[in-house]
Amino acid sequence: VITDIPYASMIQYSQEKNDLSTLEDYNAFIKEIKKAFEEIWRVLKKGKYCIVFVADYRIGASRKILPVHSDVIQIMRDIGFTLFDIYIWRYYRSGSFRPFGKFPYQAMNVHIYILCFYKPAGDENEKPNRPIRYRKRLIEKIQRNSTEADLFNQKGEI
């Protein structure tokens, strides 16, 4: 499943009463989006993935950020999904681009999160991690050319 959830009342898609984009209350929006994710959990096969595109939401002049991505992560984990990976997709908006935003010069939201979840099949914790493999010549070169002091700056600090 790949989904780009509606952003509460940030973009209104219709006037339908069941349209999540008409909800003004953020907590009500989160409760409704949880119902949608529970349905995804129900129909998704074990071991399969759910990818969620989501951006955080800034509330106008209050300068308050609603961390939608972290709320989605918590909802998905509560349902039973495992967070597999997070990607940050940086993009530029068209029009008058102000990277530092309008007065009082708060930065614009120029990225979205791509949250990758999977529905556990049940045997994930029994599988050993893949061993880390380094090229033998690289390890020898590092051992030959470095000392513990090289890991720190000249004063011995990290």
Placement of tokens 């339908």 in the chain: 16
Is the per-residue pLDDT at 48 higher than 60? yes
Gap between the Cα atoms of 73 and 82, Å rounded: 9
Among residues 22, 86, 7, which one has the least CA distance to residue 51? 86
52 pLDDT higher than 80: yes
- C-alpha angle with apex 46: 70 to 52, nearest 5 degrees? 30
d(CA 34, CA 80): 12
Residue 16 or residue 40, greater confidence: 40
SS3 103: coil
Instruction: State the average pLDDT for the chain.
Output: 76
Does residue 95 surpass a pLDDT of 60? no
Domains assigned to the chain = 2-127 (3.40.50.150)
- Contact predicate 148/113, CB 8 Å: no
Residues contacting 92, CB < 8 A, separation 6+: 110
Average pLDDT over residues 53-65: 77
Q: What is the mean pLDDT of residues 1-21?
A: 69
